[in-house]
Amino acid sequence: MPQSRVTIRDVAKHAGVSHQTVSRVINNSQHVAPKTRKKVQASIVELDYRPNAIARSMALGRTCLLACLAPNLTDFTFASLVEGAEVEARKHGYFLISSSAPTPDILQHLLNELIDSRRVSGLIVINPYVDERYSYLPENFPLVFIGSHAREPGISSVTLDDELAGYLAVQHLLSLGHRDIAMVTGVMIEDCAQKRCIGFEKALKEAGITHTASQVIQGDWSATSGRDAFMALTETGKVPSAIFAQNDRMAIGVMQSARDMGISVPEQLSVIGLDDLPLASYFAPPLTTIRQDIIKIGSKAAQLLIANIEEPSHPTHRLTINPELIVRKSTAPFNHQKEEPIELSHNQI
Amino acid sequence: MPQSRVTIRDVAKHAGVSHQTVSRVINNSQHVAPKTRKKVQASIVELDYRPNAIARSMALGRTCLLACLAPNLTDFTFASLVEGAEVEARKHGYFLISSSAPTPDILQHLLNELIDSRRVSGLIVINPYVDERYSYLPENFPLVFIGSHAREPGISSVTLDDELAGYLAVQHLLSLGHRDIAMVTGVMIEDCAQKRCIGFEKALKEAGITHTASQVIQGDWSATSGRDAFMALTETGKVPSAIFAQNDRMAIGVMQSARDMGISVPEQLSVIGLDDLPLASYFAPPLTTIRQDIIKIGSKAAQLLIANIEEPSHPTHRLTINPELIVRKSTAPFNHQKEEPIELSHNQI
DNA sequence: CCTTTTAATGTTACCGGTAACAATATTGTA
DNA sequence: TACAATATTGTTACCGGTAACATTAAAAGG
């Protein structure tokens, strides 16, 4: 029944007014007599009229559509950013297209497609600089970055305070008496990985610890890379007493690898991650981690974007969201008696 | 620079042809002389012209936009469905709006908003019948369900073969010698939970086992509910030798709860889940589970939807995707002396 | 070589809204 | 009461494409 092909002119005819008057009623214009308004509203209800959003976009030149581009949509962090942005967008009457851009080519293509075709009126890009993801950035187009701050002027951005996050993680380990602390990093071309390293180093430096490069191993955010990193670490012969993994997935990989080698967490090895995945407390042992409020980051990004769309002179912002330490069971005070080298040659599982 | 406000008429003027000829070139119409085409294409490049998608939608009455409504966008299953649908959609030149509809009110509102405003030309609804989510369903509007088959005629749907999934899970436990098998269900108003129960019962029945109602405990898909379910089970005094949890999260909750009670998995208790979360192999022990190809489900849904949009007479389909057993370490042969951990005989591996 | 057919291009209207301005009705003031 | 000021409503054009039809140019046939 409501196969609503009713247009504004049908309503006008039905109410005995001009289509423009109907438009005024829809848009709550002041210049409509109360009597007329009632009449038109009655017709709208009777005919079950709904304004056509496309026609509206066309006339106004605004689409009330945003897009969010992420490397993928399934990683918990990306999915949460999208959800945060989506919920916020809807509060303001916008919808959100989400699109996965796993490669620079695809990202570039999507940027062109979405912007040049004027399909969306604003864009959120997650992890914008990975792989030099694009060569061409539109000018004067509302754009917000998540995950790293814009090098270009005029682009707002929202990130976790990654430096602080790294700092807090290491500080927690230091406070437990650990001195021999290793780190598994994310992909180092990403700003957030670099910032987390800076925080790591800053905390160690403040504690008067000079760490050697061998204690920093590069991962790729995956649990597998956490496993590999820990195995590489043990092959060097000197196993640290604590490890900061730059995300939870890698931390979990480290824990599994340690378990396989018969190294017990946290008695012999403290592990701290970053993210606070929903299941973080269900691993064995429950994972100590640095929590980031991902929903908030996505939501703030959408806010900034919409402000920029609706008021182009809106000043650009670079927000950082504060991390929070969540202590569970994968970290423990440094145990001096275990200072003897750990026997690794046999699988003790 | 490419602040592309160039229209089809600008290109026409520049090339010395009518705007309609430009339109023909854009749309690869046959009726354009090669010489003219070249000329127009040159103008398009020179002026950096890009067709306005909104105007196109307006003229054609098609938007090349789909929407996918899910209870949330962060759960791995939902996020993967969205990604599957999104990637498929883009292959066909469509974009995908994803929106979270946690409550029936919001879902109803979104349905109205998206459909009546003709913003999207098709809709995917995930878990459509939860909470009697809506009262009003549009007629003749391209719609595809994921998670349960449509009761209404003319609506295509894609689901996991949930009955088979439940059956396979139980069959695996039976094949290991377990006879005392409990189940933790999802939210029972959801079709998939009901179907999984049917598979569970069918497998038991075929094995000649009559299970008592106490062995089935209702959860809500969350890890916490898995914990609670297992504690409830132990309070009854008779702990089963194996548990089928209708999703991985609950299985993980069960495993943690068992560990807390000193019941070892899989020696004293076998646990099998369903989904195959990306981190399933990183729990302790790595989780045996029934895998569903979620990306494929999302992708198929988008395929069906687009087919239905582009050819309204397209027949409706009800696809079921096959589950797959993934054996890891959380299930083991039934051990008749529960006291001692099972000794893996060499000939068995 | 002229007519017929077909290919190529142009003209006009339309999709369903909104904006700008014009026209009319109402109110207030001299 | 007349006239200006203001409130209300209507008319027309426009956003940027596409569709249908008209027109013109080129190719084919007698």
Given pLDDT bands bounded at 50, 70 and 90, which one contains residue A170? Answer: very high
**Shortest Cα distance from B199 to chain A (angstroms)?**
28
CB contact under 8 A, B54 and A57: yes
Given pLDDT bands bounded at 50, 70 and 90, which one contains residue A283? Answer: very high
Tokens of A55: 């026609």
What are the start-end ranges of the E strands in A111-177?
Answer: 122-126, 143-146, 156-160
Interface contact B218, partner A, CB < 8 A: no
Interface contact A33, partner B, CB < 8 A: no
d(C-alpha A62, C-alpha A250), whole Å: 43
Query: Tell me: the pLDDT tens digits for A41-61?
Result: 999 999 999 999 999 999 998
Chain A residues in contact with B82 (beta carbon < 8 A):
73, 98
Tokens of A340: 């003897």
- Spatial contact of A83 and B148, defined as CB atoms under 8 Å apart: no
**Angstrom distance, B58 CA to C8 C1':** 27
Integer angstrom CA distances of residue B180 from B155, B174, B315: 40, 9, 45
Nearest by Cα to A84 from A98, A105, A102: A98
Nearest by Cα to B267 from B327, B181, B334, B170: B334
Contacts of residue A299, Cβ cutoff 8 Å, sequence gap at least 6? A84, A85, A87, A88
pTM over 0.75: yes
Query: Tell me: the pLDDT tens digits for A207-261?
Result: 998 866 558 999 999 999 999 999 999 988 888 999 999 999 999 999 999 999 9
Chain position carrying tokens 């042809």: B17
**Nearest CB to A252 within list B4, B112, B282:** B282
Question: Average of pLDDT values for A172-193?
Answer: 95
- Spatial contact of A260 and A346, defined as CB atoms under 8 Å apart: no
- The number of residues in chain A equals 349
**Shortest Cα distance from A330 to chain B (angstroms)?**
14
Helix (H, G, I), strand (E, B) or coil at B242: strand
**How much is the pLDDT for B153?**
83
Interface contact A249, partner B, CB < 8 A: yes
- The number of residues in chain B equals 349
Give the number of A-B residue pairs with CB atoms closer than 8 Å. Answer: 141
Bases of chain C below 7 A from a protein C-beta are 7-12, 14-20
Bases of chain D below 7 A from a protein C-beta are 7-12, 14-20
Helices (H), A61-93: 76-91
Mean pLDDT of chain A: 90
Nearest by Cα to B78 from B147, B2, B170, B153: B147
* Residues facing residue A159 across a β-bridge: A320
* Angle subtended by helix axes A8-15 and A34-47, to nearest 10: 120
Task: Indicate the helix (H) or strand (E) that contains A181.
Answer: strand A181-185
Q: Find the closest chain B residue to A136 by CA distance.
A: B2
* Residue A160 phi, psi dihedral angles, 5° rounding: -65, 150
**How much is the pLDDT for B3?**
45
Nucleic strand C within 7 A of Cβ A19: yes
Nearest nucleotide, CA A60 to C1': C18
d(C-alpha B83, C-alpha B89), whole Å: 10
**How much is the pLDDT for B211?**
66
Query: Tell me: the pLDDT tens digits for A324-334?
Result: 999 999 999 98
Domains in chain B, start-ordered, CATH in brackets? Answer: 8-51 (1.10.260.40), 61-161+295-322 (3.40.50.2300), 162-292+326-348 (3.40.50.2300)
Write out chain B's pLDDT in tens, 349 residues.
Answer: 334 589 999 999 999 999 999 999 999 888 888 899 999 999 999 999 999 999 999 999 889 999 999 999 999 999 999 999 999 999 999 999 999 999 888 998 898 889 888 899 999 999 887 666 666 677 788 999 999 998 888 899 999 999 999 999 999 999 999 999 999 999 999 999 999 999 999 999 999 988 665 589 999 999 999 999 999 999 888 889 999 999 999 999 999 999 999 999 999 999 999 999 999 999 999 999 999 999 999 999 999 999 999 888 889 999 999 999 999 999 999 976 544 444 444 443 3
- Spatial contact of A147 and A306, defined as CB atoms under 8 Å apart: no
- Spatial contact of A219 and A250, defined as CB atoms under 8 Å apart: yes
